[in-house]
Amino acid sequence: MRIEHKPIFCYVTDRSSFEVSSASNRSEPNRVLLPEVNSLYDSISRTIAAGIDWIQIREKGLDTRTLLEVARFAVAKAQATSTCVLINDRLDVALAANANGVHLGEKSLPLEAVAGWRRSSGRLDFQIGVSCHSLESACAAEAGGADYIFFGPVFATPSKAAFGAPQGIDRLREVCNSVKIPVLAIGGVNVKNARDCLKAGASGIAAIRLFQNVKDSAELAAELKRI
């Protein structure tokens, strides 16, 4: 997977935000799973069909077997498309599913260890991303071998409340100007403020609700690409 110069749009999954009733229209009728996981399959399918650049499978608390099945489903759906599939936290699942990369959080494997494995394995096309919440951690991620970072929360959002107050556009700009690797803005990003993130130097945006709660993924993708 190569980092392109066009804006990168990344859907970060979160099955916990689905309403159970939305599971009735699942696109994989042969799968018998938890209702919210069935909804996740639908959401992944719609997002890939719409041409969104990246999907990060971020399903904390999901048992390994089901997580691997979801990851393999996403990878299979993304074949012959431009969508890249990243797995949050779990390098083992990313490798087993033949995903495009892994995204590391604060409690994941150390970045240096994963970067060292990549060098020794020759898997130079395997992407490594890191979530960062400060300028210092962003610079450390670049020095440690990360290919890209998520920085945030830029704006207020329930899913990122645990990481403190919003960082704001000025801090995002400072981070973008301080590292050479792509920076994706995350946290409260929507269609209205996405342009501000890109103007600040972000290489793209990442979001849960923006992509997951939309009724027409294709229309959303077209609107974002117009930005």
**pLDDT tens profile 1-51:** 434 468 999 999 999 887 654 444 444 444 545 678 889 999 999 999 999
- Secondary structure (3-state) at 69: helix
Beta pairing partners, 11: 55, 207
In which band, very low, low, confident or very high, does the pLDDT at 159 lie, cut at 50, 70 and 90?
low
For residue 62, give the DSSP letter: -
CB 202 within 8 A of CB 184: yes
- Secondary structure (3-state) at 207: strand
Phi and psi at residue 140, in whole multiples of 5°? -65, -40
> What was the pLDDT predicted at 157?
78
- Secondary structure (3-state) at 36: helix
Tell me the C-alpha distance between 68 and 79, whole Å. Answer: 17
Q: Which residue type is seen at 182?
A: P
What domains does the chain contain, in order, with CATH numbers?
Answer: 8-226 (3.20.20.70)
